[in-house]
C-alpha cells in the first residue's frame, strides 16, 4: 500500500499549528467516511454543491454558504463577485480596500484578479478610499494587526456607501462560534474559513459564509464555469467531506476540547520549567488567536542549544517533530496532536536537552502498564 514511508518520507508529529505546509489538520473520521462514500458514485456536481451550501448555511445560521478549494480561493471568488458579473471582465478594473497595517501575502488572492489595493490608515482615509470601491478585505486573527479602525466601524462606513465587507477568518476555529459571529453578529457580508484547519475537513477546501449576493458571485465565477475560478475545483468527495466535518465540529464539546489543550500545556510547562537554562511559560492565545494556550520555551546558552538548533534537531528525528515560533520563543501547540503525541514531543525535547532523568520525572506520563519509564524517539 502506498504510504509516506513507502516513498521514503518521514511522517510529522505536528506541535506547530494547522499549517498548510504540514497538511493542515487530521481529517475528522466522519469526513473520511463521507469522502469515501462520495468517491464511489457519480452525481450532478452543481446540485450537490448548492445543496451542501444550503445545508451548511442552515447549520451555521447564515443566509448562504459556498465551498471553495481553500480559504485563499474563497477570497478570490468572493472578491471576483464583488468586482464584476461578467465572466470575461478579468483582469478587472476595480478597487479592494485594505488596512495598511494588514497588507500581507494573502492579498495576492485579490490582486491576481487585476484589482488595485487602496489602503487606509485611519477613519478619515477609510472614508476617502471607500467611494467607488468593490469591497473591503479585512483579516481576522492575532497573527495580523487589528488595524487602525475597529471592524464594526469599517462595516458601518462601508455599508453607508453600499460597499461589501469580506473577512478572512481562515484559522479562526476554534471557537466554532466564528462561523456566525462575523456575519450574523458583526454584520460583515462574508467570512471565509479554511476547511482543513480547525474544522478538520479536507485540506483542499474552504468555506464562504455570508449573504446570498456574495455566494451568488462565488457560484458565478467558480468551476465548472469557464471563469477565473475554473482551476479552483472542488470535487464531490471534498464537498461531502467538508459538510461532514462541519456537522462533526458543531457536535463537539468545545469547552472540554479546549480544557484538554490547557491540560497538555500545563504538563509541558511544568516539566520543561525544571530543566536548567530553560524558561517555560503558558502563552495565550494560540498561534492565530484561538482561545487556548500553548507552551512557550526560551533557552539560554548554558543549555548548549539555540532556538534554531533545537527546532532543527526536532525536525531531524523520526518521526519528524514540528514546532512553532513566537518571537524568540519555541512554541508548542497542542491543537494538532493526537492523544499520546504530547508526551512524545516532551520526551524528545527533554532527551535533546540532555536532561538526565529516570523513574517518575515530572514530564513523564504513565505508560499503559502503569509504569512511568520515560520513552524517547529518534536518534
Backbone angles phi, psi at 9, to 5 degrees: -110, 130
Asked if pLDDT for residue 37 goes beyond 90, the answer is yes
Asked if pLDDT for residue 375 goes beyond 60, the answer is no
Asked if pLDDT for residue 160 goes beyond 50, the answer is yes
- List, by residue range, all CATH 3.40.640.10 domains of the chain: 26-250
- List, by residue range, all CATH 3.90.1150.110 domains of the chain: 253-352
Report the percent of the chain where pLDDT is more than 90.
Answer: 90
- Write out the H or E segment, with its range, that includes residue 305: none
Asked if pLDDT for residue 359 goes beyond 50, the answer is no
Q: What pTM was computed for the model? A: 0.91
Asked if pLDDT for residue 327 goes beyond 80, the answer is yes
Q: Name the CATH architecture for the domain at 26-250.
A: 3-Layer(aba) Sandwich (3.40)
C-alpha Rg value of the chain to the nearest Å: 23
pLDDT attached to residue 368: 35
Query: Residue range 4-15: average pLDDT?
Result: 96
- Residues near 239 by beta carbon (within 8 Å), at least 6 away in sequence: 38, 45, 48, 49, 52, 67
Asked if pLDDT for residue 356 goes beyond 60, the answer is no
Angstrom distance (rounded) from CA 142 to CA 151: 14
Q: Is the domain defined by 253-352 classed in CATH 3.40.50.720?
A: no
Amino acid at each position: 500500500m502506498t504510504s509516506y514511508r513507502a516513498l521514503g518520507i518521514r511522517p510529522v508529529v505536528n506541535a506547530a499549528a494547522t499549517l498548510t505546509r504540514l497538511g493542515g489538520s487530521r481529517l475528522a473520521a466522519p469526513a473520511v467516511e463521507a469522502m469515501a462514500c462520495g468517491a464511489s458514485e457519480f452525481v450532478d456536481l452543481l446540485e450537490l454543491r448548492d445543496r451542501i451550501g444550503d445545508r451548511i448555511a442552515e447549520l451555521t445560521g447564515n443566509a448562504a454558504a459556498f465551498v471553495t478549494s481553500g480559504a485563499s480561493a474563497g477570497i478570490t471568488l468572493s472578491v471576483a463577485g464583488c468586482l464584476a458579473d461578467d465572466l470575461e471582465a478579468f483582469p478587472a478594473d476595480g478597487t479592494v480596500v485594505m488596512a495598511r497595517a494588514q497588507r500581507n501575502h494573502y492579498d495576492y488572492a485579490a490582486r491576481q484578479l487585476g484589482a488595485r489595493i487602496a489602503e487606509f490608515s485611519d477613519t478619515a482615509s477609510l472614508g476617502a478610499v471607500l467611494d467607488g470601491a468593490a469591497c473591503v478585505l479585512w483579516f481576522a486573527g492575532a497573527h495580523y494587526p487589528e488595524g487602525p479602525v475597529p471592524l464594526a466601524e469599517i462595516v458601518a462606513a462601508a455599508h453607508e456607501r453600499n460597499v461589501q465587507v469580506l473577512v478572512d477568518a481562515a484559522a479562526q476555529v476554534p471557537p466554532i462560534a466564528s462561523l456566525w459571529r462575523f456575519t450574523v453578529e458583526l454584520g460583515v457580508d462574508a467570512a471565509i474559513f479554511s476547511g482543513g484547519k480547525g474544522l478538520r475537513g479536507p485540506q483542499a477546501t474552504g468555506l464562504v459564509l455570508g449573504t446570498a449576493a456574495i455566494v451568488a458571485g462565488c457560484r458565478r465565477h467558480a468551476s465548472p464555469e469557464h471563469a477565473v475560478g475554473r482551476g479552483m475545483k472542488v470535487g464531490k468527495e471534498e464537498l461531502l467531506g467538508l459538510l461532514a466535518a462541519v456537522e462533526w465540529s458543531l457536535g463537539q464539546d468545545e469547552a472540554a476540547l479546549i480544557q484538554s489543550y490547557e491540560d497538555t500545556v500545563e504538563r509541558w510547562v511544568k516539566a520543561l520549567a525544571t530543566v536548567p537554562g530553560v524558561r517555560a511559560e503558558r502563552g495565550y492565545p494560540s498561534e492565530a488567536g484561538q482561545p487556548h494556550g500553548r507552551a512557550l520555551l526560551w533557552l539560554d546558552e548554558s543549555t548548549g542549544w539555540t532556538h534554531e538548533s533545537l527546532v532543527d534537531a526536532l525536525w531531524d528525528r523520526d518521526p519528524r517533530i514540528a514546532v512553532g515560533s513566537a518571537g524568540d520563543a519555541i512554541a508548542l501547540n497542542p491543537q494538532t496532536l493526537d492523544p499520546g503525541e504530547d508526551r512524545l514531543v516532551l520526551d524528545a525535547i527533554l532527551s535533546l536537552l540532555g536532561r538526565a532523568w529516570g523513574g517518575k520525572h515530572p514530564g513523564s506520563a504513565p505508560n499503559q502498564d502503569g509504569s512511568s519509564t520515560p520513552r524517547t524517539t529518534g536518534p
